[in-house]
């Protein structure tokens, strides 16, 4: 774990900021992180908390822009397209608004896809 990592990028030709918590050993990817379905609505689910899971695979089998999860992240320059587009621990500002504050997800608890419908 490295703590909060932030990096300025160009996304769709506009400046943006990305941030993550640096817990790459707990990063499964948005499409691979274990979750529970909460209703018949496919969008109503919760990702399991870090404490409910073991270490994430170093190669989750997903790609973003031809890149996969980085093998070793030692700082913000190691964040790649997979981090920005696939990692559930990474958040991005709105393109063109790289100064907006970014809130990271807290995986100490389950993270609900429809948080207005559930409480932790």
Give residue 46's pLDDT. 94
Give residue 12's domain range. 5-117
Whether residue 83 contacts residue 70, with contact meaning beta carbons closer than 8 Å, is answered with yes
Q: Is pLDDT at 100 greater than 90 in this prediction?
A: no
The tally of domains found in the chain comes to 1
The beta-carbon contacts of 101-105 under 8 Å, at least 24 apart in sequence, are: 102/6, 102/17, 102/18, 102/19, 104/4, 104/19, 104/20, 104/21
Average pLDDT, the chain: 89
Q: Is pLDDT at 98 greater than 90 in this prediction?
A: no
Q: Is pLDDT at 50 greater than 90 in this prediction?
A: yes
Whole-angstrom distance, CA of residue 107 vs CA of residue 70: 20
pTM of the model: 0.86
pLDDT band at residue 108 under the 50/70/90 scheme: very high
For the segment 12-44, what is each residue's pLDDT rounded down to a tens digit? Answer: 888 999 999 999 999 999 999 999 999 999 999
Q: Which of 96, 98, 68, 100 is nearest to 84 (CA)?
A: 68
């Amino acid at each position: 774990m490295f703590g909060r990592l932030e990096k300025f990028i160009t996304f769709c030709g506009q400046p943006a900021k990305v941030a993550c918590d640096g817990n790459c050993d707990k990063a499964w990817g948005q499409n691979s992180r274990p979750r529970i379905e909460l209703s018949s609505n496919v969008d109503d689910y919760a990702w399991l908390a870090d404490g409910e899971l073991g270490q994430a695979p170093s190669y989750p089998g997903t790609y973003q822009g031809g890149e996969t999860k980085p093998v070793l992240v030692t700082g913000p320059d190691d964040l790649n397209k997979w981090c920005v587009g696939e990692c559930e621990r990474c958040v991005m500002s709105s393109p063109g608004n790289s100064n907006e504050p970014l809130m990271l997800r807290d995986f100490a608890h389950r993270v609900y896809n429809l948080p207005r419908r559930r409480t932790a």
